[in-house]
Amino acid sequence: MAIKLGFIGTGSIAHAHGDAYRKMGDRIEYVACCDLNEERAKNFAEKYGFKKYYTDYKQMLAENQFDAIEVCTWNSAHAECTIAALNAGANVKCEKPMAMNTEEALAMKEAAEKNGKLLMIGFVRRHGNDANAAIDFIDKGFLGDVYFIKASYLRRAGFPGGWFGDKSRSGGGPLIDLGVHVIDLSRYVVGNPKPVTVFGATFNKIGSRNHLKTGPKDWASSTEAEDPIFTVEDLATAMIRFDNGVVLYVEASFNLNMSNNTPGGLVFYGNKAGLTLDPFELHTECNDMLADIKIHGPTGCGDFFYYEDTNFLDAIEGKAECKAPADDGIELMRILDAIYESARTGKSVDIVR
Ligand SMILES: NC(=O)c1ccc[n+]([C@@H]2O[C@H](COP(=O)([O-])OP(=O)(O)OC[C@H]3O[C@@H](n4cnc5c(N)ncnc54)[C@H](O)[C@@H]3O)[C@@H](O)[C@H]2O)c1
């Protein structure tokens, strides 16, 4: 039986998932999609073959039955749309970040449990070939004891525009938008340790950079043309200590006066070797000399949206374990709440549960 699919939010990222589902052929029945912006919902329905489109998700959920709902709205609508879809009997995959804060995330998990449905979080980096390869190298002992991780997601001029700069809809800036990806991937690769203590700092020194005529903008919100608003940080940095002793340093920016060549990405430092993800390389010793080992193989992201969406459907049908359960979304929100709190107070924050 085909999986009855619906979308809430049909902006930019919804198309990445639409393209992924399209590769699954008749495994999917395209029931309905919804966006506050009617034009966007209509175009999405026509492009992917949804039978109906709506501007009110409550009406869509009341008039149709779904096995699976993708929540791809701006962040402030994640919790209400997810909870409504779960209460309507659907399994839900909600885009990252899971919510605006931990409290909302906990309410979402409670709704999933109450209804006996799956709630998965769109941590797409968990599904990349590089994540699998890194875990494999660590499990087989090539890095030894991993004790420090550096995670960067720095853009020199990369504010996506629209609601991404409006704290009331985004919950924050590059930390909650970009930092989420690399913090989660770091946790995932080293076995999902729990955060214990956080020290963070955020800045808004450059702002939106909307005056720039050109720039390496690699993501744009569908609401980009709205009045410019920038009430979020433009740079965030933090150190996070986990319960297994691992320390993660993270930095994320929309705008930063850096060279385009500033190295980013993830580095896992172990006592036997360090591992960078992009390029996928080991930094170690060989015959009493320093050595860099370039790995050839499936070590890029691959078709990670397709892998993510396949995992969602497989998990719904009991064919696979969900790789990004709600619990990990909640841990991420605990980390983000603590970083913003630490940035506000100037003090480190202990995560008490
Ligand atoms: N996994 C990734 O790599 C990735 C990449 C980009 C964005 N995202 C996430 O995806 C989500 C959407 O981002 P985007 O770039 O597509 O933004 P976008 O602005 O392009 O699209 C968001 C859409 O949600 C709609 N919307 C908001 N509230 C709604 C509601 N209550 N009911 C129906 N529609 C509603 C808006 O009208 C808009 O069309 C965000 O949470 C973002 O963090 C994830």
Mean pLDDT for the stretch of residues 236-264:
92
Atom of ligand 1 nearest to the CA of 41: 39
Lowest mean pLDDT among 182-191, 238-247, 260-269: 260-269
Whether 226 has a pLDDT exceeding 90, the answer reads no
Give the per-residue pLDDT at 58. Answer: 98
Fold of 3-122: Rossmann fold (3.40.50)
* Residue 228 pLDDT greater than 80, yes or no: no
Adjacent-strand bridge partners of 249: 150, 239
- CATH superfamily of this structure's domain 126-301+333-350: Dihydrodipicolinate Reductase; domain 2 (3.30.360.10)
The pLDDT of residue 55 is: 98
- What residues are paired with 200 via a beta bridge? 238
Neighbours of 231 (CB within 10 A): 13
Coil, helix or strand at residue 167: helix
Q: For atom 4 of ligand 1, which residue has the closest CA? A: 13
The full DSSP string for 74-143 is -GGGHHHHHHHHHHTT-EEEEESS--SSHHHHHHHHHHHHHHT--EEEE-GGGGSHHHHHHHHHHHTTSS
CA 173 to chain centre: 13
Predicted local distance difference test score (pLDDT) of residue 216: 60
pLDDT digits (tens, 9 = 90+) for 262-273: 767 899 999 999
Ligand 1 atom index nearest CA of 40: 39
Alpha-carbon Rg of the chain, whole angstroms?
20
Model pLDDT, residue 214? 64
Name the nearest CA neighbour of 37 among 305, 229, 221. 221
- Per-residue pLDDT at 164: 96
For the chain, the domains span: 3-122, 126-301+333-350
pTM for this prediction: 0.97
User: Which residue of 7, 10, 13, 125 sits with most ligand 1 atoms within 8 Å of its CB, as the best mutation to test the pocket?
Assistant: 13
**Tell me, what DSSP letter sits at residue 172?**
S
Residue matched to tokens 């985004």: 170
Summarised one tens digit per residue, pLDDT across range 114-152 is 999 999 999 999 999 999 999 999 999 999 999 999 999
Which of 57, 95, 124, 332 has most ligand 1 atoms within 8 Å of its beta carbon, as the pocket-test mutant?
Answer: 95
Q: Please give the average per-residue pLDDT across 281-291, as a whole number.
A: 98
